[in-house]
């Protein structure tokens, strides 16, 4: 049944300390919602990328993960049953060969998930030119040109495709850090591409997570305490993977050009804030 839910581990709060917070999340049971789809996930060896790759495989997709560590790629792809290819997103010249090989391994590409990203967590006065360029290259320049290459394949082969970007709640607000600036640019890119390619049957959306328990944020999934979030806790990668699965599925066929912010209304510009 399509609305049967599977309660995923963890209880809502541990009572031994008010500052130890875990979570009870609800996800749909795997229903082959992505059966037949061929999905490439960048930054697929950890955090959100790993959670999405696992979920996509469970939903019947053929998945290829990529990242810089060949050791991590081999271990995870063997564990969850997906394909893998090394990729440095800052090396735009490698994209043609990467996409060609990904197509061979998957038999084509229906979906690209631009997940890989970095944040150096600087303050304005501590930003360096090198750090600025590194974040722009990984978070914006790389995804831009990889998407350009995948779009060409989709157009040439008349693929009704789907592109999903992983943005951030920081892209919804004013920011003075390179990370936030790249995510604001990603949000603009998502909307522009969605409008441009809608007549071609290609959808483009983004999820914009709030602070999530990943290596990049430094929040542990054993203690999700994060009082700055409206729910008092950080989010789990599995929660974001559930939203991503819906956006890649045919059930969301009328949705394109949307930034789905996943932070319990934290960045809503309410008059009474």
Q: Is 179 a catalytic residue?
A: yes
- Rounded to two decimals, what is the model's pTM? 0.91
Could you tell me which CATH class the domain 5-262 is placed in? Answer: alpha beta
Cβ neighbours of 184 (radius 10 Å): 19
- 3-class DSSP state of 59: coil
pLDDT at 124 (0 to 100) = 96
Q: Can you say how many angstroms the Cα of residue 48 is from the centroid of all Cα atoms in its chain?
A: 6
pLDDT over 70 (residue 193): yes
Cα→Cα distances 126→122, 133, 176, 239, Å? 6, 14, 11, 33
Angstrom distance (rounded) from CA 183 to CA 207? 11
- 3-class DSSP state of 34: coil
pLDDT over 50 (residue 3): no
pLDDT over 60 (residue 251): yes
- For the chain, domain boundaries: 5-262
Tokens of 111: 């979906």
Could you tell me what percent of the chain has a pLDDT over 90? 81
Name the nearest CA neighbour of 228 among 237, 239, 238, 217: 217
DSSP 131: H
Name the nearest CA neighbour of 248 among 51, 39, 68: 39
pLDDT tens sequence across 111-155: 999 999 999 999 999 999 999 999 999 999 999 999 999 999 999
Q: Is 43 exposed, middle or buried (0-12, 13-18, 19+ CB in 10 A)?
A: buried
Rounded to 10°, the helix 178-197/129-136 angle is 30
Angstrom distance (rounded) from CA 267 to CA 17? 28
pLDDT tens sequence across 67-87: 999 999 999 999 999 999 999
DSSP assignment string, 83-126: EEEE--TT-GGGHHHHHHHHHHHHTS-SEEEE---------GGG
pLDDT over 50 (residue 7): no
Catalytic residue selected from 153, 179, 197, 226: 179
């Amino acid at each position: 049944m399509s609305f049967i839910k599977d309660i995923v581990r963890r209880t809502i709060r541990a009572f031994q300390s008010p500052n130890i917070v875990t979570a009870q999340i609800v996800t749909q049971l795997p229903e082959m919602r992505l059966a037949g789809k061929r999905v490439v996930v960048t930054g697929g060896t950890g955090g959100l990328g790993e959670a999405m790759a696992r979920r996509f495989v469970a939903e019947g997709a053929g998945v290829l993960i990529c990242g810089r560590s060949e050791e991590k790629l081999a271990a995870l792809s063997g564990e969850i049953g997906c394909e893998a290819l090394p990729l440095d997103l800052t090396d735009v010249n490698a994209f043609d060969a990467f996409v060609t090989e990904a197509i061979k391994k998957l038999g084509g590409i229906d979906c690209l998930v631009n997940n890989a990203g970095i944040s150096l967590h600087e303050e304005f006065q501590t930003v360096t030119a090198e750090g600025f360029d590194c974040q722009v290259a990984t978070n914006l320049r790389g995804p831009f040109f990889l998407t350009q290459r995948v779009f060409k394949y989709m157009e040439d082969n008349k693929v009704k495709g789907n592109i999903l970007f992983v943005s951030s709640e920081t892209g919804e607000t004013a920011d003075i850090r390179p990370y936030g600036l790249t995510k604001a640019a990603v949000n603009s890119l998502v909307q522009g591409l969605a409008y441009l390619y809608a007549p071609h049957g290609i959808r483009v959306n983004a999820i914009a997570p709030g602070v999530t328990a990943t290596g990049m944020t430094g929040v542990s999934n054993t203690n999700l305490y994060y009082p700055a979030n409206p729910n008092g806790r950080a989010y789990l990668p599995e929660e974001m993977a559930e939203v991503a699965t819906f956006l890649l599925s045919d059930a969301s066929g009328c949705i394109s050009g949307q930034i789905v912010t996943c932070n319990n209304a934290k960045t809503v510009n309410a008059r009474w804030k």
